[in-house]
Structure 1
Amino acid sequence: MWTEKQRGIRVSQEELLCKNACGFYGNPTWQGFCSKCWKERSHSVGAPGQDARPNTDGLPTFSKFEEKKNIEKGRRINTVRRLFWGSSSPPKPQETSESHINMLKAYQSLEPGDFPGFLKILRSPSSQRLQSRCTAFLNTMEAYHDLPVQKQSDLVQDFYQSFAEYFRSFPEAQVTQIMEHIEKLIMTRLHKWVFCHDSCDDEQKDLVLQRRIRSLNWVTPQMLGVPFPDEKTPVTGDPFLPAITAIIEMDAKRAPQDKLACVSKCSHHVFEALSISNSEPANADDFLSGLVYVVLKANPPRLHSNMQYMIRFGLPHSLMAGESGYYFTNLSCAVAFIEKLNGAALNLSPEEFEGYMLGQRAPAALTKRQQVARETQHLLEELQGRQEKLHQGVDDLSVQLQKWVHVVHSQLDEATTQFSKVQQEMSAQAEVSREVSSSALSASQQKDVKDESMLVLNDPNVGPEDTDC
């Protein structure tokens, strides 16, 4: 049972480290060991002991049988190496070769995270040998894609180690940077062949985990001890939403390092959300509780397959050490916690936990949020009704406006017709007036000529020479 001072999921730093005390991070998938110790432990446990009984029946002893088996195994390994490298052992870099020296200088000048620059250097003539081996490895892996996924994982990890031999003279940071580019190049091509392989049960485990997370959708932040007060956080303002989005984006990536970058991005958003929701600085317990809440709310697609893909085909140092290793270990712990979640972990009695799982009960905070959601839904429906009425009013106004425009056009047409008639009448009247005026002017001129002739005839001073006769 938890108290206010001891809330959330309690996992100490020692519990995150490898059980073998090697200093690297462990993982629940490897039963608490790191990948290196887990492989060593698996080989030591899986190797059968030698039979010390005397050979009394003439049959070969078990030790000889084991020796023969190891010889056959070594022969198969050399065959695979010849397929990849053209010889039974990985090639050693030619330190005296001028082209090799130029190649090393080109890789030394490579900027961190410059994947296009890495591809450009790899395609250069000085790196033709490395490019050919990468191409040969990819073609061989695609041709033998039916191999069990664990054997494919071993081949990819062996290729990483062999390729790193070319840069053994480099500082560790530069080798790590180059191998991250190699991982991205190789696994982007092999993703469709090795992800969720038919030889493993990742798909079934994905479905089981997805159903498990879906059945726990009633778990609230308060039950997990996450500092996420309801009264200060609105329904649509979940501060963990960026973290939920980041963990969902993981499935869309191909390279293991890109998937691991999504895990780191999600973890950073969890710390930011915790700093917003809580006045105190976030600690490791709050972080793990917040990460469990994010996984429950996000229910990431193919979560188990993505995690196994990173374990099998990612660079070991990315999962065993550093910030990314810490975040991935916490994600593995969060998934393991969800798979084993019970009432005691949530400070609930078995009856209460069973009632929540069967849907017979609902948390108070969840009920309050559901009530707020219902009220919001009712408000949205009311706003939708008002919007529909507004649209109807706009449609009616549009119809009325069209009718008014039609009436105005009719009145304009009628006024234009009347104006044309008035113009025609005025033109006719003007024509008549001009005709009357011209006739009157002609009559006046004839009268003036007649009067002038009469005056000439009646004048006594006018002689015959002044007349036309």
Structure 2
Amino acid sequence: MWTDKHRGIRMSQQELLCKNSCGYYGNPAWQGYCSKCWRDRARPPGAHPQDSRPSSDGTPVTFSKFEEKKNIEKGRRIYTMRRLFWGSPSSPKPGSAEIHSNVLKAYQSLEPGDFPGFLKILRSPPSQRLQSRCTAFLNTMEAYHDLPVQKQSDLVQDFYQSFSAHFSDLPEPQVHQVMEHLEKLIMTRLHKWVFCHDSCDDEQRDLTLQRRIRSLNWVTPEMLDVPFPDRKSGVTGDPFLLAITAIIEVDAKRAPQDKLACVSKCCHHIFEALALSNSEPANADDFLSALVYVLLKANPPRLHSNMQYIIRFGLPHSLMAGESGYFFTNLSCAVAFIEKLDGPSLNLSPEEFEGYMLHQRAPSTGHRRKHVAKSTQHLLEELKARQESMDQDMDALSTQLHQWMETVTAQLDQTTATFALVQKEICAQAQHFPNAEERSRTSSAQTDC
């Protein structure tokens, strides 16, 4: 259990929720708000989501006086862009309701994770309109890839919202499933344009965070109070190795949901490792401290950029609620803890912490030696117990072998004696046999006469 000095890493369930009390998970990147509340606060008063879309000449629409003077000239172009992304508000064509119903049935029959099936339905003739919108949106986003990353994020999120409106008649879980397929389609293609964009400082933040984690390589599991399995459990090596591997794999994925899947996989492996250490279910403090340890051990590449990529272009429901939202919120808290890590957080004085940071002290060596000595002592005790057990087994085997040899010897002696008696009887019978044969012949001759 954590002492009172470990306040820096303790996070209650209430602290993980949005500051606006909407019931969803917040995030340090949004100053404690969920994505929806954060976007509502960041959006200018009276502005609509479409206000951040680019005009056809490549200049973002702003609220400056210069842009207001050009509203009439750009009105037609903006209207064309909206029609391109979200369709015309004209009345539906005859038979469109039936086509829409058939399209919904096709999407409703999708199995979870069946991305090839989603592409097949999207390319079918009934979904031609949706496919055209996706294609137009992708081409436009690539054409305006030099827009600020926040503008690109707004465009993608608005497109998600507009696309999901076509499936409002489906149950919410199925809508989420369709949107996850759409997100994978859109962001796999846009990844090279929007990830670690030049308009933000993600690359510099990555280097800063990487140097920070590298400078904390002296932090030991004991300092973080991370429970490790006992040697008697039979676990060898680092029980968090699978979690470390999973969090490193985040950078290799393109779609935000795939990156979130790696985060969830990492957290599941952490809970599995904690289950080997505790007889009781792991609590939130143990999980968060273990997650900090995993990050310090893994030092994942481009961690800040990957987290920002998920925040900007991931589906809101994946981050605001559910298992993935909880795990990602804890990941953000763990990164924030690492960035602000100080002596009291590790139960150290400021002087000790500074000495470790300047490599004037080496707590990891002392802890490692203590851990090695303890492991060696346990190994010696285990070998001694095995040797004693082997000696006992050898004594028992020697006793059994001696008893067997005595039994065999007695049986041989008895068999030899019996054989000698039988042999004497055979010899005695052999001596009397010729006299009996002679008498038999004499009797036969007399009878012939």
TM-score range, shorter chain: 0.7 to 0.9
Partner of 1:433: none
Cα distance, 1:86–1:288 mapped onto 2, change above 3 Å: same
Partner of 1:81: 82
Larger radius of gyration between Structure 1 and Structure 2: 1
Q: Contact conserved, 2:229 with 2:235, CA < 8 A, in 1?
A: no
How big is each residue's C-alpha offset from its partner over 1:392-438, in whole Å with a ceiling of 9 and x where there is no partner?
xxxxxxxxxxxxxxxxxxxxxxxxxxxxxxxxxxxxxxxxxxxxxxx
Cα distance, 1:345–1:4 mapped onto 2, change above 3 Å: closer
In 2, the alpha carbon distance for the partners of 1:125 and 1:68 equals 41
Answering whether residue 296 of structure 2 is matched by residue 282 of structure 1, we say no
Cα distance, 1:262–1:120 mapped onto 2, change above 3 Å: same
After TM superposition, list the pairs within 5 Å mapping 1:204-283 onto structure 2. Answer: 204-228=204-228, 237-283=237-283
In 1, the alpha carbon distance for the partners of 2:226 and 2:288 equals 9
How big is each residue's C-alpha offset from its partner over 1:127-186, in whole Å with a ceiling of 9 and x where there is no partner?
111111111111111111111111111111111111111111111111110000000000
Q: Match of 2:368, as an amino acid?
A: L
Cα distance, 1:121–1:14 mapped onto 2, change above 3 Å: same
Offset at residue 32 of structure 1 (A): 0.5
Q: Contact conserved, 1:8 with 1:224, CA < 8 A, in 2?
A: no
Partner of 1:350: 350
Q: Contact conserved, 1:85 with 1:91, CA < 8 A, in 2?
A: no
After TM superposition, list the pairs within 5 Å mapping 1:356-435 onto structure 2. Answer: 356-363=356-363, 364-368=366-370
The alignment of Structure 1 onto Structure 2 pairs a total of residues equal to 358
Q: Contact conserved, 1:93 with 1:100, CA < 8 A, in 2?
A: no
Offset at residue 279 of structure 1 (A): 2.2
Answering whether residue 144 of structure 2 is matched by residue 144 of structure 1, we say yes
Q: Match of 1:351, as an amino acid?
A: E
3-state SS in 1 of match to 2:23: coil
In 2, the alpha carbon distance for the partners of 1:338 and 1:72 equals 51
Offset at residue 3 of structure 1 (A): 2.6
Runs of 5+ in structure 2 lacking a partner? 48-62, 376-449
Offset at residue 90 of structure 1 (A): 10
Partner of 1:175: 175
Offset at residue 8 of structure 1 (A): 8.6
Offset at residue 38 of structure 1 (A): 1.1
Identity %: 78
Q: Contact conserved, 1:240 with 1:270, CA < 8 A, in 2?
A: yes
In 1, the alpha carbon distance for the partners of 2:256 and 2:78 equals 25
Partner of 1:419: none
In 1, the alpha carbon distance for the partners of 2:372 and 2:72 equals 65
Answering whether residue 97 of structure 2 is matched by residue 97 of structure 1, we say yes
How big is each residue's C-alpha offset from its partner over 1:92-147, in whole Å with a ceiling of 9 and x where there is no partner?
89884332222111111111111111111111111111111111111111111111
Partner of 1:421: none
Cα distance, 1:131–1:91 mapped onto 2, change above 3 Å: farther
- What TM-score does the superposition give when structure 1 sets the normalisation length? 0.70
Q: Contact conserved, 1:7 with 1:225, CA < 8 A, in 2?
A: no
How big is each residue's C-alpha offset from its partner over 1:355-411, in whole Å with a ceiling of 9 and x where there is no partner?
1111121222234468999xxxxxxxxxxxxxxxxxxxxxxxxxxxxxxxxxxxxxx
Cα distance, 1:90–1:143 mapped onto 2, change above 3 Å: farther
Cα distance, 1:44–1:127 mapped onto 2, change above 3 Å: closer
In 1, the alpha carbon distance for the partners of 2:90 and 2:156 equals 14
Partner of 1:308: 308
Q: Contact conserved, 2:275 with 2:281, CA < 8 A, in 1?
A: yes
Partner of 2:393: none
Answering whether residue 190 of structure 2 is matched by residue 190 of structure 1, we say yes
3-state SS in 2 of match to 1:152: helix
Answering whether residue 9 of structure 2 is matched by residue 9 of structure 1, we say yes
In 2, the alpha carbon distance for the partners of 1:333 and 1:241 equals 21
> Which range moves more in the overlay, 24-33 or 224-233?
224-233
3-state SS in 2 of match to 1:249: helix
Q: Contact conserved, 1:90 with 1:162, CA < 8 A, in 2?
A: no
Q: Match of 1:33, as an amino acid?
A: Y
Q: Match of 2:240, as an amino acid?
A: F
Runs of 4+ more than 3 Å apart: 4-8, 44-47, 63-80, 89-97, 229-236, 366-373
Offset at residue 80 of structure 1 (A): 3.2
Offset at residue 239 of structure 1 (A): 0.6
3-state SS in 2 of match to 1:359: coil
3-state SS in 2 of match to 1:177: helix
Q: Contact conserved, 2:6 with 2:347, CA < 8 A, in 1?
A: no
> Which range moves more in the overlay, 294-303 or 5-14?
5-14
Q: Contact conserved, 1:239 with 1:273, CA < 8 A, in 2?
A: yes
Higher relative contact order (CA 8 A, sep 6+): 2
3-state SS in 1 of match to 2:3: coil
> Which range moves more in the overlay, 122-131 or 232-241?
232-241
3-state SS in 1 of match to 2:102: helix
In 1, the alpha carbon distance for the partners of 2:95 and 2:154 equals 28
Q: Contact conserved, 2:292 with 2:335, CA < 8 A, in 1?
A: yes
In 1, the alpha carbon distance for the partners of 2:93 and 2:186 equals 21
3-state SS in 1 of match to 2:175: helix
In 2, the alpha carbon distance for the partners of 1:158 and 1:81 equals 11
Q: Contact conserved, 1:81 with 1:90, CA < 8 A, in 2?
A: no
Offset at residue 40 of structure 1 (A): 1.6
Cα distance, 1:22–1:85 mapped onto 2, change above 3 Å: closer
The alignment yields a C-alpha RMSD, in angstroms, of 3.3
Offset at residue 81 of structure 1 (A): 1.7
Partner of 1:131: 131
3-state SS in 2 of match to 1:19: coil
In 1, the alpha carbon distance for the partners of 2:45 and 2:344 equals 35
In 2, the alpha carbon distance for the partners of 1:368 and 1:19 equals 44
Partner of 1:153: 153
